[in-house]
């Protein structure tokens, strides 16, 4: 004769109740929400940092031109205006004083040494319009935690971000950011432009999907 199950064995054999399953799912959902929320907050903070750099560089170049009559890097005889040791030299790579921050910049964000693009941050820094540069990297004085920042002509920007000049006919120069995470670049674009990194005045060099890194992101200076 089969022995009737004891209360203990009944408890061992029964499955989870709907209430228990609901509690577990709610806990899992709360954990995932916290993770996603933390990532969103982090992306937002990083985007604000990039936007702050854009605003600082726009303001700095505006004041530089108001003081000296030329854009940084495009200033003729900078040693005659800004006294530092060693003396500043005029940038190369285009006609000096033409209003364009000329110079070749590689896809990795490295400017050709001595060009107006390479000299621009150095002149801004020595004139007191930006607070810090990486003086050990004269081909990319400015950087984010992800990669270099360059001030360049619209023509240079277009070699790296196709369509930039066409979408920014009034802009003679640009700010380039290299290797921004896609979530950061998209958040920046949402705040500055149309939220799409392949259209509008602010553009990336490739489509931004998922957690990819955007090689180059250009905004008008």
Q: Which residues contact 176 (CB under 8 A, 6 or more apart)?
A: 105, 109, 148, 149, 150, 151, 152, 157, 160, 161, 216, 217, 218
Asked if the model's pLDDT at residue 85 lies above 80, the reply is: yes
- Between 11-15, 90-94, 216-220, the lowest mean confidence (pLDDT) is in 11-15
Pair 196, 185: CB distance under 8 Å: no
Q: Is the pLDDT of residue 167 over 50?
A: yes
Q: Give tens-digit pLDDT for 170-215.
A: 999 999 999 999 999 999 999 999 999 999 999 999 988 766 999 9
pTM of the entire structure?
A: 0.81
CB 71 within 8 A of CB 101: yes
């Amino acid at each position: 004769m089969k022995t009737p199950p004891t209360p203990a064995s009944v408890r061992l054999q029964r499955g989870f109740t709907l209430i228990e399953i609901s509690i577990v799912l709610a806990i899992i959902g709360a954990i995932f929400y916290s993770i996603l929320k933390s990532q969103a907050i982090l992306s937002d903070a990083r985007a604000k940092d990039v936007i702050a750099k854009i605003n600082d560089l726009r303001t700095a170049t505006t004041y530089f031109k108001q003081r000296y009559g030329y854009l940084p890097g495009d200033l003729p005889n900078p040693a005659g205006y800004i006294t530092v040791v060693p003396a500043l030299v005029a940038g190369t790579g285009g006609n000096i004083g033409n209003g364009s921050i000329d110079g070749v910049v590689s896809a990795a964000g490295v400017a050709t040494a001595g060009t107006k693009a390479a000299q621009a941050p150095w002149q801004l820094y020595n004139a007191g319009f930006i607070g810090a540069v990486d003086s050990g990297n004269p081909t990319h004085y400015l950087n984010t935690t992800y990669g270099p920042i360059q001030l360049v002509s619209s023509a240079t920007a277009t070699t790296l971000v196709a369509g930039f000049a066409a979408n920014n006919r009034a802009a003679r120069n640009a700010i380039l950011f290299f290797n921004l995470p896609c979530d950061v670049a998209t958040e920046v674009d949402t705040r500055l432009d149309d939220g799409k990194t392949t259209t509008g005045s602010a553009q990336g060099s490739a489509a931004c999907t998922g957690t990819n890194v955007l090689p180059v992101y250009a905004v008008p200076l």
